[in-house]
Amino acid sequence: MELTLLTRSKRVKEKVKRDHYWYDSVQKKMLQDRGGEMRFRYDPQQKRSLPYLVDHEDWVYRNDYPEVKKWVNENKDQFDLDIVHDTTHHIVLQISARHFDAIQSDLHRNGIVTDWNESELRRELRG
């Protein structure tokens, strides 16, 4: 029978990496660095504000396809899974109906959403 593993967008916290540019008026140069957030601190010896970068995290939405694919690769031998179709939005697996309950409970523990044809499952379990 076929079991479809659906991907979804998950809200995750991720480090922000941005390009920051500033002009150093003393050296007459445009400087560049990459980091989270640019802040300025006043330096009384040089009598000017100097930039520094601070790590910054922000909430973003990411597709959980890598986690779903990792689960499939780790459990392919244990549950005798065959990949029928694989896109970045869903993975269709060919599974044995006798493993269905164990697969469903493992997927539920890992937070992976599934879809299947109930009549196909009943037919395989009867026959």
- 22 and 82 together in one domain: no
Taking only the tens place, the pLDDT of each residue in 46-105 is 999 999 999 999 999 999 999 999 999 999 888 888 999 898 889 999 988 888 899 999
Q: 26 lies in which domain range?
A: 17-55
Confidence (pTM): 0.66
Contact, 95 vs 80, CB < 8 A? yes
SS3 at position 48: strand
- 43 and 79 together in one domain: no
* Domain of residue 111, CATH code: 3.30.70
DSSP codes joined into one string, 85-124: EE-SSEEEEE--GGGHHHHHHHHHHTT-EEEE-HHHHHHH
Taking only the tens place, the pLDDT of each residue in 1-59 is 889 999 999 898 999 999 999 998 888 999 999 989 999 999 999 999 999 999 999 99
The tally of domains found in the chain comes to: 2
- 46 and 81 together in one domain: no
- 26 and 78 together in one domain: no
The string over 52-69, giving b where at least 16 C-beta atoms fall within 10 Å of a residue's C-beta and e elsewhere, is: eeeeeeeeeeeebbeebb
- 68 and 121 together in one domain: yes
